[in-house]
Amino acid sequence: MTTDTVARIVSWHPAPSKPRYTPPPGAVDAHCHVFGPMADFPFSAKAKYLPGDAGPEMLFALRDHLGFSRNVIVQASCHGTDNAATLNAIAKSNGKARGVAVVDPAISDAELKALHDGGIRGVRFNFLKRLVDDAPKDRFLEVAHRIQALGWHVVIYFEADILEEMLPFLATIPTPIVIDHMGRPSMSQGPDGAEITAFKALMDSRDDIWTKVTCPDRLSAQGDPWDDFVEVVRPLVERYSDRVLWGTDWPHPNMQDNVPDDGHLVDVIPRIAVTPELQRKLLVDNPMRLYWAEQT
């Protein structure tokens, strides 16, 4: 993408409301991103969108505004396999952020170790054709084997229509797996719909598959306050209470036509995790086990 001719996209709310719900102390926003700033951290030549700057200062201000304590920063596709922007944000967080990288499968062991020292605890494999040009399963599998020694996990982003064909690949991954946005099931099919049922079967196939119960704004067919999402996701949070993570998804890549209010996203939490215990697991215990294991 040539960065001098394309308008830069703003996909986040200019002034998110203050949530009514107060997260428990130590709550982790376990899925968010940073974009740039571009002058310091240019976007990938292969990026499928060109966002405005949404750097660490903005992310940490939002964290505080929403009542969270920590962030897990997931390398956004617009930065390709150069994790410098993500590492920069982690370095500026005073220990309050860790990250998930996207790597070139040819990465050296020394480079992986440097990512670990910079706060990375997982790698992301992205299978969305609108975001990446290729997703080589055989090479991803090699990476998954190599990160085992570091105690990392893999984060996988795919859509419900390819769940079936992903199953053999997922079964061979030797590390814990985190599925982004539940593999994007249809919410309009309801809590017993075919797509969420297939997803639960995947969750049942291994006890080390986790998921992010994120993105009502992306997945709901109804819009804010996303009642269809709540109806489908609440049973999931109860059934897999030790393997669910929550995040804002800020700055909401590609959501410029349907920008969510982050305060409203936080107010979904007590509707999908209906007891203080479920909320503590979702927001504190679970993400701490995956990302700050040495402190648990």
Ligand X SMILES: O=C(O)c1cc(C(=O)O)oc(=O)c1
Positions touching ligand X (CB under 6 A) are 76-78, 131, 180, 249, 253-254
* Residue 153 backbone phi and psi in degrees, to 5: -125, 170
Residue 248 Cβ vs ligand X, minimum distance, rounded to whole Å: 11
CB nearer to ligand X: give 43 or 169: 43
Alpha-carbon distance of 28 to 71, in angstroms, equals 6
Alpha-carbon distance of 225 to 134, in angstroms, equals 35
Residue of 217, 228, 249, 262 marked catalytic: 249
Whether 100 and 120 have beta carbons less than 8 Å apart is answered as yes
- The separation between the first and the last C-alpha atoms of the chain, rounded to the nearest angstrom, is 43
Give residue for tokens 């700057």: 53
Residue 105 Cβ vs ligand X, minimum distance, rounded to whole Å: 18
| DSSP notation for 111-171 | HHHHHHHTTEEEEEEE--TTT-S---HHHHHHHHHHHGGGT-EEEEE--GGGHHHHHHHHH
CB nearer to ligand X: give 29 or 180: 180
| CA 280, chain centre distance (Å) | 19
CB nearer to ligand X: give 212 or 281: 212
180 is a catalytic site residue: no
CB nearer to ligand X: give 50 or 141: 50
Residue 253 Cβ vs ligand X, minimum distance, rounded to whole Å: 4
Instruction: Give the HSE-up count for residue 239: Cα atoms under 13 Å, Cβ half-sphere.
Output: 18
Give residue for tokens 């993500």: 86
Residue 152 Cβ vs ligand X, minimum distance, rounded to whole Å: 18
Residue 20 Cβ vs ligand X, minimum distance, rounded to whole Å: 25
CB nearer to ligand X: give 77 or 220: 77
Give residue for tokens 């085992």: 148
Alpha-carbon distance of 243 to 22, in angstroms, equals 22
Give the residue closest to ligand X by C-beta.
77
CB nearer to ligand X: give 77 or 83: 77
Strand partners of residue 74: 100
Residue 78 Cβ vs ligand X, minimum distance, rounded to whole Å: 6
Q: Which residues are catalytic?
A: 249
